[in-house]
Amino acid sequence: MMNMRIKAGITAAVLIIAAIVGAVLYSRSGKGNMAERDNDNMKNTDMQATSENVTEQTAEESTAVRLNEPESEVSVKVNFAGSGQLIKNKFTDINQWDMAMDWISEKASGQPENYMKENYPFVKRVQLMTATGGTLQRDLFLDPKDRIKTDDYDFSPLGTAIGNIIRQGLTPYIVVGNMPVKYCSEPYTGSFGVNVRPPDDYKVYYKYVKALAEFMMERFGADEVRTWTWRALVEYENKDWFSTDNPETTREAYFKLYDYTVAALEEVIGAEHLYIGAHSMTNGEGFWDEREFIDHVASGTNYCTGKKGTQIDFLSFSYYDVKPGIRSPAPFTLESNLALLHDRAIKNGLTQLQYGVDEGRIASGRDGKELYPRTVASSYQAAYDAKLFKQMHDIDLDYFSAWYLNTERIWGEAVGINPVGTHLANLTYRMAGAERASLGITDKVSPVSGKVDGIAAYSRDTSTAKVLLYKLNEDQQDTAVTEVKTTFENVMALQDGTVNVKRWVIDDDHANYWPRWEAYLKEKGITADDFGGWSGDSWTVTSVASQKVRQYWYAHLQEYHELSMLKEEETVAEIKDGKLVLSQEMKSNSIVYYEISKLKIIDN
């Protein structure tokens, strides 16, 4: 079974528990501490203001008590005057822990070439983690055990995986850096199951990466390879991924590793065509201060070339909330993590970097056991991801990667069922390219029954308004219903005084199989033991559950497939006095998405 014990998630869990009971005080490892981190974040006032607002909201949500309040009403006003920021597709990436699981298989090669485009158009890039080494199975050699011959390269397995990725019209994202076992005289396997030691000889490693790039250029052509993304290591300051057992020498070893990796790729691909970055943990205490890496690539001496600085195009980090309803505490909020890296980059004159989250969402289920993958399939996830989509636009975070897409991981065919998070990503993809509009909430529902918010946009090319609203309650047992009245101001119909309205809803009763499945498991007396070391909230059933649970699942597959269908409803609405009003009852933890076509903005 795949070992996916993500250290950042575990660290976040420890931190949140410590924050709640007040038992432990944490400090940053390496140079600096939490106070220093908070001071650094203050330098970016816009981000800090956003972070404070979110922190206050999270505190309210996390202290909610379970009450069935009378139905309440929330007024949402959408105004298209002054539209500007373009809405972007934020859920562009998926992670692959082991490329052999899903991308070197008959399922991958046997799929229609439009499988991803038809089912998951929001996916644009596939991250192949630890793609070039770290175990005898991952090391790309004819004989990984032969320590004498260091250049018996065999890059064909990685080539096969990349060929299947390209065949689906997607971009490969290759994570190099974990060292082949035979390149280390004393390899050491860390908790993630890979060798964490640096190479004995960086020049030998340089030749390995250079040969890899040459292989890919020959097989796929320069034009193709020059569109790819590259990265050196996973969570570079996490000692469970890379370590010499000493913070200072580990930091220096990573600087060398990154510099030699970049130089090898530049020699083959060309610096102007290379897109490469680094991934820090950041969502918890690291072995050394990740900001020192930013200083190094900006102005340090390159260990490979001897010149000043090293190419860097993006910075990414991990972000895990601890469990449904319990968020990662300050100073490890999403906004703070981004600001930590962004501020240091700006201080070093690195103003053109992109920023993303290369793994994350929720570490554990409600039972405290680790989630596989790192999301839940309850309606909570739809509201959670809708809020995340809005936050990412507010703080200018470029992307947030996911682990899997359906209950069969990726290649669902007829048996894979899409959870609510995948539905949400497909809906947000429909908003991409539209101009963001002003969205105001005039009567927010009380913290007890959840918060209503959202994001709105207008597409001038198609005269279509697009609005995503969510009601998020960290208390998943709440059942209060809120009447949400959405008013579009200063609008008119292109003809006949009417517009077409499409609506999609995700909640416990729409596009969601989970409530029925959860009730069935309870009825059958399924316990935590039936999911082994994983949470019972895990939704890739065939990957983690016992044979008994799998039999239950497949026996009711058609029923769950029908319950999970995301359905579009279309109606006609009338505009009066320059206003369009739509109403929707929203349950706790739900989303509604509107598309209103044949709608024209009245310019003031």
Please write the tens of the pLDDT for every residue from 422-442.
999 999 999 999 999 999 998
Place of tokens 């908003």: 431
CB 94 within 8 A of CB 406: no
Query: 408 with 544, same domain?
Result: no
Q: Centre a 10 Å sphere on the Cβ of residue 32 and count the other Cβ atoms it contains.
A: 15
Contact 43, 343 (CB under 8 A): yes
Mean of pLDDT over the chain: 88
| Residue 249 CB coordination number (10 Å) | 13
Residues with Cβ within 8 Å of residue 432, at least 6 apart in sequence: 87, 88, 89
Does the pLDDT of residue 132 top 60, yes or no?
Answer: yes
As a whole number of angstroms, the distance between CA 560 and CA 406 comes to 12
Residue 457 CB: number of other CB atoms within 10 A? Answer: 25
Q: Which two tokens stand for residue 588?
A: 């706790």
* pLDDT of the residue at 71: 62
177 touches 262 (CB < 8 A): no
Q: Name the nearest CA neighbour of 582 among 596, 566, 563, 597.
A: 596
Closest C-alpha to 102, from 209, 240, 238, 2: 2
Which residue shows structure tokens 């220096």? 252
* Token digits of residue 120: 């998951």
Mean pLDDT computed over 552-576: 96
DSSP 3-state of 389: helix
* Stretch (H or E) spanning 48: helix 45-62
Q: In CATH, what number is assigned to the domain containing residue 250?
A: 3.20.20.80
Mean pLDDT of 108-134: 96
Which amino acid is present at 113? E
Residues 543 and 399 grouped into a single domain: no
Position 12 confidence tier, pLDDT thresholds 50, 70, 90: very low
Please determine, for residue 187, whether its predicted confidence score (pLDDT) is greater than 70.
yes
Same domain, yes or no, for 222 and 348? yes
Rounded CA separation 341/336 (Å): 9
Helix (H, G, I), strand (E, B) or coil at 239: coil
Q: Got the DSSP string for 508-531?
A: TTBS--HHHHHHHHHHTT--GGGG
Q: Binning pLDDT at 50, 70 and 90, where does residue 445 land? A: low
* Percent of the chain whose pLDDT exceeds 70: 86
- Of 414, 435, 453, which one is at a domain's C-terminal end? 414
pLDDT value for 24: 27
Q: Which residue has the higher pLDDT, 44 or 240?
A: 240
Q: Are residues 385 and 530 in the same domain?
A: no
Same domain? 552 vs 407? no
Q: How far apart are CA 357 and CA 147, in angstroms?
A: 36
Torsional sign, CA 282, 531, 365, 107: positive
Residue 542, pLDDT score: 82
Closest by alpha carbon to 303, among 203, 229, 208, 213? 203
Contacts of 130 (CB under 8 A, 6+ apart): 98, 138, 175, 177, 178, 194, 234
Provide φ and ψ at 245, rounded to 5°.
85, 5
The answer to whether 573 touches 488, Cβ cutoff 8 Å, is no
User: Could you tell me which residues come within 8 angstroms of residue 20 by beta carbon, excluding any fewer than 6 positions away?
Assistant: none
Range of the domain at 554: 514-563
What's the pLDDT at 444? 58
pLDDT score for 530: 93
- On whether residue 34 sits in a domain, the answer given is no
Same domain, 395 and 519: no
Torsion of CA 533, 539, 541, 546, to 10 degrees: 30
Same-domain check for residues 408 and 519: no
Q: Cα separation of 256 and 300, whole Å?
A: 11
155 with 265, same domain: the answer is yes
Residue at 369 is within a domain: yes
Whether 588 maps to a domain, the answer reads: no
* Within a domain: 480: no
State whether the Cα torsion 531-383-507-482 is positive or negative.
positive
User: Per-residue DSSP letters for 120-156?
Assistant: -TT--EEEETTTT-SSTTTS-BS-TT-SS----B--H
Q: CA 292, CA 5: separation in Å to the nearest integer?
A: 26
Tell me, yes or no, whether 543 and 400 share the same domain: no
Would you state the pLDDT for residue 291?
98
Q: Given 414, 439, 454, which residue is the final one in a domain?
A: 414
pLDDT digits (tens, 9 = 90+) for 371-417: 999 999 999 999 999 999 999 999 999 999 999 999 999 998 678 99
Q: Which residue has the higher pLDDT, 444 or 479?
A: 479
- Region 266-283 average pLDDT: 98
Final residue before a domain boundary, out of 364, 399, 414: 414
> Which residues partner with 439 through β-bridges?
78
**Could you give the CA distance from residue 410 to residue 98 in angstroms, rounded to a whole number?**
13
pLDDT tens-digit map of 45-91: 333 333 333 333 333 333 333 334 436 789 999 999 866 899 999 99
pLDDT at 83: 65
Distance CA 62, CA 267 (A): 51
CA distance 173 to 170: 10
Residues 277 and 142 both lie in one domain: yes
- Residues 501-542: pLDDT tens digits? 999 999 999 999 999 999 999 999 998 899 999 999 999 988
In a domain, 141, yes or no: yes
- Interval 30-50 mean pLDDT: 35
d(CA 212, CA 158): 9
Across the range 200-209, mean pLDDT stands at 98
Query: Is 409 in the same domain as 525?
Result: no
Residue type, 159: G
The answer to whether position 328 is within a domain reads yes
The total number of structural domains that make up the chain: 2
Say if residue 6's pLDDT is above 50. no
Question: How far is 160 from 180, CA to CA, in rounded Å?
Answer: 19
**How many CB atoms neighbour CB 145 within 10 A?**
9
- 409 and 528 assigned to the same domain: no
Residue 153 in any domain: the answer is: yes
Backbone angles phi, psi at 456, to 5 degrees: -130, 155
CB distance 580 to 596 below 8 Å: yes
- Of the ranges 155-164, 166-175, 211-220, 535-544, which one carries the lowest mean pLDDT score? 535-544
In degrees, to the nearest 5, what angle opens at C-alpha 359 toward C-alphas 358 and 360? 135
357-365 average pLDDT score: 97
* Complete DSSP assignment for 406-462: BTTBS--TTT----HHHHHHHHHHTTTTSEEEEEEESSPPPGGG-EEEEEEEEETTT
